[in-house]
A and B are shown apart, each in its own frame.
With several copies, the nearest count.
Chain A
Amino acid sequence: MGGWLTPDILPPEAWRAVALSLKVSLWAVLVSLPLGIFTAYALARWRFPGRGLVNGLVHLPLILPPVVTGYILLLSMGPQGPIGGPLARIGVVFAFHWSGAALAAGIMAFPLMVRAIRLSIEAVDPKLEQAAATLGAPRLWVFASVTLPMILPGVIAGAILAFAKAMGEFGATITFVSNIPGQTQTLPSAIYAFLQVPGGEGAAVSLVVISVAVAMGALLLSEGIGRRVARRVAGA
């Protein structure tokens, strides 16, 4: 019989959207994480010319309506854009490709990730880093062996926030890579589509439930990890 929550009323492309959203969000988070940590570190600890500009740029996707971010991406990273063009010639294609969706999601999620990590870095007592330096650890090692382990809770928090945001990202993604079932149709695009037509609510609700379940699972998991890590870092 099948109620509205059971998979049989969801067309197969809905399931493909779920799979794609997971893939896109995971890639978006994983690829942007190192850059996010680096950016957060630079903003937290270094004084350099253009620091304000970098900080502004990082926050931009938060401030702009997502559609605008999508347009900017389309203009710059599209096949004829100043960045997308050359990239396309060396075979790196974002347009209408899931990697473009990941790019859009990653950019939209970036400010959240950077903020969380940066706050953690600012909370690390520089005296511990100094202690590591006196023991002979070069700067990068100090980071890897002292700073990074101590900011892990923040890194995890940042990664979850980014993942959740990526799972929900819609405006920039659809504007940049549009909605091609199986390639760029993420969960939010599918939900949006269902909501546009009278009577589409049922399917939309099913997808919302799936999306919430996935993100909550990730959330709970990461909370668990985060707590364990925090306890480890606090040393208790």
Chain B
Amino acid sequence: MSVSVTVQHGFGGFNLDAAFEAPAGITVLFGRSGSGKTTIINAVAGLLRPDAGRIAIDDWVLLDRAAGVSLPVHRRRLGYIFQDARLFPHLNVRQNLLFGRFFAPRDAPRADMGRVVEMLGIGPLLGRRPAMLSGGERQRVAIGRALLASPRLILADEPLAALDEGRKAEILPYFERLRDEVAVPILYVSHAPAEVARLATTVVALEDGRVTGQGPAIQILGDPNVMPTGVRDAGALLQAVVVRHHDDGLSELSAGGVALFLPRVPHAPGGQLRLRIAASEVILSRARPEGLSALNILPGVVEAIRDGDGPGAIVSLNTPAGRVLARLTRRSVAAMALAVGAECHAIVKTVAIAPENVS
């Protein structure tokens, strides 16, 4: 299932002109405050009628201004998690959660209420009204309400921004499951690079109403030219397979033949997973390092060196596991005499990857 979106809309000072394809999985809209993310999502939801545009899920056309088609909001089968929770103040949490279920077709696949409630940790709140909830609790209920509506398309506008790290860590896997198992397309707005790296199948980078880059997460996140929030968030994604789980709580993975050690991952041996390695967490060494606490060492060849705005540079290393980015100071680049073609080793701490950069 793939969502194709083309929208043009003008708001006085701001002009949106975006077109992108969101293939199955999670498509993250990534961009600074005011870049047009919510506007796009609203157009997809039907809450905003763009000046021009076409929105379709596969062959199912939600909007086609040129053809005069615009499906009413309630027929779009959405689960919209709003940036402001927008709970119904006159209904209690349970009633809020069940609101959408009532309108879902009888045969639609249903999320399990108990499971969602447990995951979101809102069991004790079911009888309360929204005015009696904390900010994070409200947001969690809003997430549950959208998930329980048996949507065919999920729109999530910074769903986790108000939550603490612990709670995020509990909810993220649920979105991953949606992505991997349920195959509901998800348009997801987020400002947090770790979240993006972990969830995104596809990334659409927005700047000032325009798409500055789009493509598989692995590609966009590894491209320091595209990442709209700057070079500091660059990082590479590696594809790896689980080899075995060790008794000391570590899992051994293989990425293109290189052994990597991570804190226990939930996947069974043989399972595929994806690792994000932030460029700022990679240390390079010309010689193979010994006696370090870091367990993961990837040999490679320098593929490119790109200087940043400040004192830093991004070194892109070709390793058997795939491309790895490292952020160094230019001073280090010089001291180590790094140049394209030079051999060197990337050192990554086990704990620097796990668990939120794994998926």
Contacts and interface: CB of A to CB of B under 8 A. Distances in A.
The reply to whether A and B meet directly (CB within 8 Å) is yes
Given A136-B74, A137-B74, A235-B129, A131 B80 contact: yes
Contacts of B86: 127-128, 130-131
A121 B146 CA distance: 26
Contact of B73 (A133, A145, A146, A150): A133
Contacts of B78: 134-136
Given A145-B99, A233-B89, A233-B90, A134 B80 contact: yes
A51 interface: no
Contacts of A236: 129, 131-132
B235 interface: no
Given A128-B86, A131-B86, A235 B130 contact: yes
Interface in B18-65: 45-47
Contacts of B89: 128, 150, 233-235
Contacts of B99: 132, 135, 137, 145
Interface in A111-146: 127-128, 130-139, 141-142, 145-146
B250 to A, nearest CB: 43
Contact of A235 (B74, B103, B131, B146): B131
A-side interface mostly: helix
Contacts of B330: none
B74 A139 contact: yes
Interface string A144-161: 011001100000000000
A205 B73 CA distance: 50
B145 interface: yes
A133 B74 contact: yes
Nearest to B92: A235
Contact of B104 (A136, A138, A234): A136
Interface string B87-105: 0111000000001101110
Nearest to A236: B131
A135 B90 contact: no
A234 B129 CA distance: 9
Contacts of B149: 135-136
22 contacts: A127-B84, A130-B47, A132-B88, A133-B46, A134-B74, A134-B78, A134-B80, A134-B155, A135-B79, A135-B99, A135-B100, A135-B146, A136-B74, A136-B102, A137-B74, A139-B74, A145-B99, A146-B88, A146-B90, A233-B89, A234-B89, A235-B129
